[in-house]
């Protein structure tokens, strides 16, 4: 092979390899325990643990993964008897803000609201905020909180930056029956 051909081979090979390994490999999330239809951009890990939320310990179920410098999480809790979805979602939102070291009095700040639709869910509330990660560096969260048939959900993406097209690809497919 002549030297000019070799020079062309390496850039072509690099482009081909990049095309075969996308940063975001969108796939349908499948979990028979929930009716939520969602996509996630990487192979998720599955976890379950007890967390204090709404004045009691709740079993939190989660699928999460990392891609493109962001962490994607789809989580849900069975709604305890005699607890409203709105109250539990408000508590979950406060817990998210606390994790990001954002003052609780900002929970009702209109600048943190984000309009998101989840067909079949009621209520639905969005959060778009910048706080601090565990390392003290800025981290942004975009999250949808919603209820449906005795469960409450949080679908969130965390990262230093969240490209609008990534957020759209993640949140727009959300559906409930």
Percent of the chain beyond pLDDT 70?
88
Residue 114 within any structural domain of the chain: yes
Q: In this structure, are residues 67 and 22 in contact, taking their beta carbons and an 8 Å threshold? A: no
Please spell the DSSP secondary structure of 112-159, one letter per residue. Answer: GB-----TT-SSEEEEEEEEE-TTSSEEEEEEEEEEETTEEEEEEEEE
Residue 53 within any structural domain of the chain: yes
pLDDT in tens, 59-103: 999 999 999 999 999 999 999 988 999 999 999 999 999 999 999
Residue 17 within any structural domain of the chain: no
Q: Quote the domain boundaries for residue 94.
A: 24-171
Residue 165 within any structural domain of the chain: yes
Residue 143, token pair as written in the block: 């999250």
pLDDT in tens, 156-165: 999 999 999 9
Single pTM value for the model: 0.85
Residue 153 within any structural domain of the chain: yes
CATH of the domain at 64: 3.40.1000
pLDDT in tens, 104-162: 888 889 999 999 999 999 889 999 999 999 999 999 999 999 999 999 999 999 999 99
How far apart (Å, rounded) are the C-alpha atoms in residues 116 and 128?
A: 10
Which strands, in side-by-side order, build the sheet including 124-132? 45-53, 56-67, 70-78, 151-159, 138-148, 124-132
Residue 132 within any structural domain of the chain: yes
The neighbour count for residue 168, using CB atoms within 10 Å, is: 10
Residue 162 within any structural domain of the chain: yes
How far apart (Å, rounded) are the C-alpha atoms in residues 165 and 137?
A: 23
How far apart (Å, rounded) are the C-alpha atoms in residues 76 and 171?
A: 16
Residue 50 within any structural domain of the chain: yes
**How many domains does one find in the chain?**
1
């Amino acid at each position: 092979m002549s030297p000019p051909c070799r020079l062309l081979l390496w850039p072509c090979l690099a482009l081909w390899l990049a095309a075969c390994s996308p940063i975001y490999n969108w796939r349908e999330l499948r979990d028979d325990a929930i009716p939520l239809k969602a996509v996630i951009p990487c192979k998720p890990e599955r976890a379950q643990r007890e967390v204090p939320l709404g004045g009691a310990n709740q079993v939190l179920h989660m699928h999460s993964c990392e891609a493109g410098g962001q962490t994607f999480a789809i989580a849900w809790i069975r709604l305890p008897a005699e607890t409203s979805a709105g109250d539990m979602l408000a508590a979950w939102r406060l817990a998210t803000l606390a994790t990001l070291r954002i003052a609780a009095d900002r929970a009702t700040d209109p600048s943190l609201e984000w309009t998101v639709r989840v067909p079949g869910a009621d209520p639905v509330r969005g959060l778009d905020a910048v706080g601090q990660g565990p390392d003290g560096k800025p981290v942004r969260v975009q999250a949808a909180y919603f209820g449906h048939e005795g469960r409450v959900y949080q679908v969130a993406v965390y990262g230093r930056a969240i490209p609008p097209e990534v957020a759209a690809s993640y949140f727009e497919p959300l559906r409930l029956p």
